[in-house]
Amino acid sequence: MGYEGPTLRGMRAVLFDFGGVILTSPFDAFAEYERRAGLPEGLIRRINATDPDTNAWARFERNELTLEEFVDAFEAEAAALGHTVDGHEVIGCLAGELRPQMVEAVRRCHEHFATALVTNNVVSGRESWSSGGSFAELLDHFDVVVESSVVGCRKPEPRFYELTLERLGVEAHEAVLLDDLGINLKPARAMGMTTIKVVDPDDALAELERVLGIPLR
């Protein structure tokens, strides 16, 4: 576990999403694939937002579908909207690059606070994909790693956050969560967590510095 001494500004834990926070966002890769395939802009995100608790993506992130089952289900969802989508290409969009300033922030947070990596991910079998283990080099900076594909629930389901807090041994009001999706932040905020939406990484880190009271860059 991370730092266990006097808390700073009442905070004891920092929770980091992976894709879109520590890793570059897959949304840019989705958009590039859509342009390349001649698909409507925002189609993939639209599919993912339809029946968000039971669609192919949600079931894949809870490890209820194999990769091939996901591909078939996702392509069927796209076909229902009148479009042909390659599910393997969509999964390939999860590959990204680590953001050095975020990696450094995680390292510094871990010196003072308990830290958790909280990610909706899939069992992809490819380490080059964000959900395939590309956070392995960061594991020393996290006290807890909570993966949707392992625990069988996903953000924004409240149980996902409850599990994380239980494993960290902290109360909601003692934790701050960084995520790039407002839908994932809303239930955490309702539970009492401080939340930061990551749009621009540097802006998010400036806000986190204000919350924690320590320099992160």
Tell me the per-residue pLDDT of 75-134, one tens digit each, with 9 for 90 and over: 999 999 999 999 999 988 887 889 999 999 999 999 999 999 999 988 655 554 545 456
Architecture of domain 13-24+97-212: 3-Layer(aba) Sandwich (3.40)
Give residue 94's pLDDT: 83
Residue reference for tokens 């570059």 = 24
CB 96 within 8 A of CB 123: no
CB 57 within 8 A of CB 26: no
Q: Where are the domains of the chain?
A: 13-24+97-212, 26-92
- pTM for this entry: 0.86
The tokens for 32 are: 């590039």
pLDDT of 189 strictly over 70: yes
Angle at the Cα of 205 from the Cα atoms of 23 and 115, rounded to 5 degrees: 70
CATH H-level superfamily of 26-92? Putative phosphatase; domain 2 (1.10.150.240)
Tell me the per-residue pLDDT of 5-34, one tens digit each, with 9 for 90 and over: 444 568 999 999 998 999 988 888 899 999
Give residue 25's pLDDT: 87
